[in-house]
């Protein structure tokens, strides 16, 4: 379930941030215009800069609403590392990052189920 970014606040000192790209229901944002922020209470995606604010949707997924996270290794035959976040309800989103294992390690430390084997992402959609 996606909620507004102000609905869940956590101390920023506990956050882990990663730069990357985004593919979600709202569109596609190229790397490195999106920032994934993982806190003990929520996972959010925000613009990485003021310029990116015009292109990047602001999304927040409450941690309890996340079913699992999956490592993405490619799109078709093209290597493209990333992480698919699969909510209990709603459509998944893919965060493209050069550090998918690090993102998954942080998520796993918060008790989120992880699919470590590399999955292929579809050419379109999530």
Q: What is the pLDDT of residue 55?
A: 83
pLDDT at 16: 93
Is there a cis peptide before residue 32, judged by omega within 30 degrees of 0?
A: yes
CB 52 within 8 A of CB 34: yes
Closest alpha carbon to 31 in 105, 76, 85, 98: 98
**Predicted pLDDT at 74:** 86
Tally of structural domains, the chain: 1
Tens of pLDDT along the chain (126 residues) come to 444 444 444 444 456 999 999 999 888 888 899 999 999 999 999 999 988 888 889 999 998 999 999 999 988 777 889 999 999 999 999 999 999 999 999 999 999 999 999 888 887 777
Say if 7 falls within a structural domain. no
Q: Is residue 6 part of a domain?
A: no
Contact between 86 and 66 (Cβ < 8 Å): yes
Residue 73 neighbours by CB under 8 Å, 6+ apart: 79, 80, 81, 118, 119, 120
Does 49 reside within a domain? yes
- What's the pLDDT at 11? 45
Residue at 79 is within a domain: yes
Residue 56 counted as domain residue: yes
Output the pLDDT for position 5.
43
Host domain of residue 19: 15-121
Q: What is the pLDDT of residue 61?
A: 93
Cα–Cα distance measured from residue 64 to residue 1, given in angstroms and rounded to the nearest whole number: 9
Is 5 within a domain?
Answer: no
For residue 62, what pLDDT is reported? Answer: 93
Within a domain: 72: yes
Q: Which residues contact 58 (CB under 8 A, 6 or more apart)?
A: 4, 5, 44, 45, 46, 47
CATH number at residue 31: 2.30.29.30
**Structure tokens of 15?**
């956050």
User: Is 81 domain-assigned?
Assistant: yes
Q: Among 60, 29, 30, which residue's Cα sits nearest to residue 43?
A: 60
């Amino acid at each position: 379930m996606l909620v507004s970014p102000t609905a869940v606040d956590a101390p920023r000192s506990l956050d882990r941030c990663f730069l990357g790209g985004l593919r979600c229901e709202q569109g596609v944002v190229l790397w490195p215009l999106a920032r994934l922020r993982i806190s003990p209470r929520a996972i959010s995606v925000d613009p990485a800069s003021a310029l990116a604010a015009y292109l990047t949707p602001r999304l927040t997924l409450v941690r309890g609403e996340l079913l699992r996270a999956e490592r993405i290794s490619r799109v078709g035959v093209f290597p493209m590392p990333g992480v698919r976040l699969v909510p209990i309800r709603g459509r998944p989103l893919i965060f493209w990052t050069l550090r998918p294992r690090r993102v998954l390690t942080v998520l796993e430390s918060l008790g989120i189920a992880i699919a470590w084997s590399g999955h292929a992402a579809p050419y379109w959609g999530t």
